[in-house]
Amino acid sequence: MTNPPETPSPQSYPIIGNLLSFLHNRHRFHDWVTDMLSQTPTSTLRVCTFLNLSHGICTANPTNVQHLLYTNFPNYIKGSRFHNVLCELLGDGIFNVDGHLWTVQRKIASHEFNTKSLKNFVADTVKSEISNRLLPYLSAASLADEQFDLQAVLQRFTFANILNVAFGVDPSRLDTENSEFGKAFDLAVETTSSRFLSPVPLIWKFKRFCEIGSEKKFKDAIKVIDNYAMKIIESREDQENEIVNNSDLLSRFMSNDAVQFQDHDQKRKFLRDIVISFVLAGRDSTSTALTWFFWLIAARPRMAELIYKELLSVATAAAAEEGIVFGYDELKKLHYLHAALSESLRLFPPVPINSRLTVDDDVLPDGTHVGKGWFADYSAYAMGRMEKVWGPDCKEFKPERWLNDEGVYQPLDPFRYPVFHSGPRICLGKEMAFVQMKSVAAAVLYEYELVAADGGGTAEKMMDPPYMLTLLLRMRGGFLVRLKKRRCGPPET
């Protein structure tokens, strides 16, 4: 029996490992990783860090991803590497812990993402925010022929939604602090991203110890974030007698006794971590996904027209009203829009790369050895661009790949498409995210044509997309657009 070939590695040198290659390609990190993975026999790489301080692998192989996220799930945890980098921001929130703490939070949160909650989410929160905040803003910008940053607008919109649906907080009550919090949160996400990608972690740890440079700014940002989260918690505590009758996410955690606390301060810290974790998921992930979707559609008038025709086909008498907002039942009929959003997420996943820590030695299905204590990364960004996974047209934006012969949306293997992860840690908010994205996309594209300042996501621009290197695949410099009111009115009723 012959031994499997050694797993390929980026150009590596004694002592410095892959440092030179990383620094040379840092500005296009995800595309660099994609290039390397696409050239390896099994779409898996071995990574050697500076001074051999840590070892790991990165994969875009669906069978390996299934092994990491499902088949051998207990062996691949968030672990100390993940927790150490994100502890100040996410604490012991659901995205940063393993074991009992994760199980309890997962169980409580799962109650918030059932079908009834989804319908209420659309009826009460999304429709209200679109009608009362988003569309009036877009209408004013359109009438003034004003250029604006759509990414920033979408962030504010999704933030207001998560405050309402997850925490039962009217976003207008915190309007004065929202902007300050948003800036602090963005800075914190960027700093933790830099920590993850630091070739020499000792540098950021030293800066944290001395409270200098970026780590000093990070510490100040965390204070702003903590104060904001505590105001949310205090607002719910003030309504303590009403919490029994309230079904928002924060109320469920406040009334649950599955986690025991030493005192009130410890419980507040736990609730603070819950708030920040779901702000990260609800504010940044969804707005990032929508930004790339609109960027791609802005460069493809034919697809924008197909979406518009589909919207016309499901619009009810309510479409005659100014600023239509599609309901839950209508959204379910939007198969082409759902396909276009899925295709956008395939190419531009909000979380482009994810990491696990190995508990014990293991061998992946492709023969790759993974040592105890190694990191094991999987790149959703690279997987969406793998010819082995998606065929020779893998880098093209083709919503039709998600539709059957009757034009009905067909979900695909989640291990080929780990945008929402999979296995026991699959994203609980997947359906809610699609409801929100379809609601926003439908409301905007029914009323307006987008004119992107950069021309949108043409095939040429997709070869070098303008992303920032952070935990989330945010667009660098924002997404500047103008809106043109559609001349065609709603269908006759």
Residue positions in the annotated binding site for heme?
427
Q: What kind and span of H or E run contains 355? A: strand 353-358
**How far apart (Å, rounded) are the C-alpha atoms in residues 242 and 186?**
33
**How far apart (Å, rounded) are the C-alpha atoms in residues 52 and 410?**
44
**How far apart (Å, rounded) are the C-alpha atoms in residues 221 and 199?**
24
The count of C-alpha atoms lying within 13 angstroms of the C-alpha of 102, restricted to the half-sphere facing its C-beta, is: 14
Give me the DSSP letters along 447-468.
Answer: HEEEEETT--S-TTGGGS--B-
Helix, strand or coil for residue 175? helix
Q: Do residues 443 and 294 make contact, with C-beta atoms less than 8 angstroms apart?
A: no
The CA-based dihedral angle spanning residues 252, 255, 256, 262, taken in that order and rounded to the nearest 10 degrees: 130
For residue 255, give the DSSP letter.
H
**How far apart (Å, rounded) are the C-alpha atoms in residues 299 and 58?**
32
Cα 334 to chain centroid, rounded: 22
Q: What are the residue ranges of helices labelled H in 359-489? A: 380-383, 387-390, 430-447
Q: Do residues 431 and 328 make contact, with C-beta atoms less than 8 angstroms apart?
A: no
Sign of the CA dihedral running 370, 374, 378, 381: negative
Q: Do residues 473 and 348 make contact, with C-beta atoms less than 8 angstroms apart?
A: yes
**How far apart (Å, rounded) are the C-alpha atoms in residues 442 and 173?**
28
Q: What are the residue ranges of helices labelled H in 39-98? A: 62-66, 79-90
Tokens of 367: 């023969």
For residue 75, give the DSSP letter.
G
Nearest to 467 by CA among 20, 34, 21, 19: 34
Q: Do residues 398 and 343 make contact, with C-beta atoms less than 8 angstroms apart?
A: yes
Beta bridge partners of 485: 448
Place of tokens 């003030």: 238
* Annotation: binding site: 427
Tally of CB atoms within 10 A around 258: 11
Cα 144 to chain centroid, rounded: 32
For residue 13, give the DSSP letter.
B
**How far apart (Å, rounded) are the C-alpha atoms in residues 276 and 23?**
31
Cα 390 to chain centroid, rounded: 22
